[in-house]
């Protein structure tokens, strides 16, 4: 009985975080479309209002998000399986970099599509999702180009935080015990990873959505 609850918990957990992400994307979509939010309202209130007003559409988009994520995972897993047979470390390293770029290119499909549904104010969730995915594939060149740059930029916060915090964290741990000093590098790596995820990855997501909004502004789904 306990094991059976785990997938239900995971699904509920993903749904809750999806609703929070939807509020963030509502703000991003409004800023991309109109450069500013309406007067007298802050970002938190605007995001909350948009999700409440379009709760049905956002919930339906969660199903679409799960479908898209499944397809993306299948694609990247198949790519990993195929390239796993390649000989030579250098070739595998190059393929690994290519896979990172591809993964970054396709990671934010669902976020871009959800943001598009906010700026279109469309009530047809399925049509918006289908057209949004098709448009995403039509502009693959600028998406891929930005993914290469963003892959590199997303690690800048990681490197900076690691450099800045490595010495202080090691010093603080050494005060309590010299045996803990060696753990300073692990603590600094963990802090750097948190900043990379919260700052670097978020920047990459917004940048990809901005490119998507700009490139698809006058484009019809083919």
Summarised one tens digit per residue, pLDDT across range 98-120 is 777 777 777 788 889 889 989 88
Per-residue pLDDT at 2 exceeds 70: yes
Tell me, what's the pLDDT at 215? Answer: 93
Distances (CA, A) of 158 to 10, 110, 114, 155, 199: 28, 25, 28, 5, 9
**Interatomic CA distance for residues 205 and 180, integer angstroms:** 36
Tell me, what's the pLDDT at 206? Answer: 92
Q: How many residues does the chain have?
A: 222
- For the residues 168-178, what does the mean pLDDT come to? 70
Tell me, what's the pLDDT at 110? Answer: 84
**Interatomic CA distance for residues 135 and 165, integer angstroms:** 42
CB distance 117 to 51 below 8 Å: no
DSSP result, 97-118 = HHHHHHHHHHHTHHHHHHHHHH
Summarised one tens digit per residue, pLDDT across range 140-170 is 888 888 888 887 787 788 888 888 877 777 6
pTM for the predicted model, two decimal places: 0.78
Take residue 2 and report the two structure tokens written for it.
Answer: 């306990």
């Amino acid at each position: 009985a306990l094991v059976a609850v785990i997938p239900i918990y995971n699904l509920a957990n993903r749904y809750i975080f999806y609703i929070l992400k939807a509020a963030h994307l509502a703000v991003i979509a409004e800023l991309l479309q109109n450069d500013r939010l309406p007067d007298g309202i802050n970002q938190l209130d605007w995001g909350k209002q948009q999700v409440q007003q379009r709760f049905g559409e956002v919930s339906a988009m969660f199903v679409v998000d799960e479908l898209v994520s499944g397809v993306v995972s299948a694609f990247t897993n198949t790519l990993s399986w195929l390239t796993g047979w390649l000989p030579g470390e250098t070739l595998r390293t190059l393929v690994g970099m290519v896979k990172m770029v591809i993964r970054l290119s396709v990671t934010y499909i669902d976020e871009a599509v959800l943001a598009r549904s906010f700026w279109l104010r469309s009530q047809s969730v399925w049509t918006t999702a289908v057209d949004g995915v098709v448009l995403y594939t039509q502009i693959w060149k600028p998406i891929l180009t930005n993914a290469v740059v963003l892959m590199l930029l997303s690690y800048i916060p990681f490197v900076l935080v690691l450099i800045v915090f490595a010495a202080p964290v090691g010093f603080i741990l050494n005060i309590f015990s010299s045996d803990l000093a060696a753990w300073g590098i692990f603590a600094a790596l963990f802090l750097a990873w948190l900043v990379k995820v919260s700052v670097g990855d978020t920047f990459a997501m917004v940048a990809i959505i901005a490119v998507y909004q700009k490139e698809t502004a006058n484009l019809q789904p083919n």
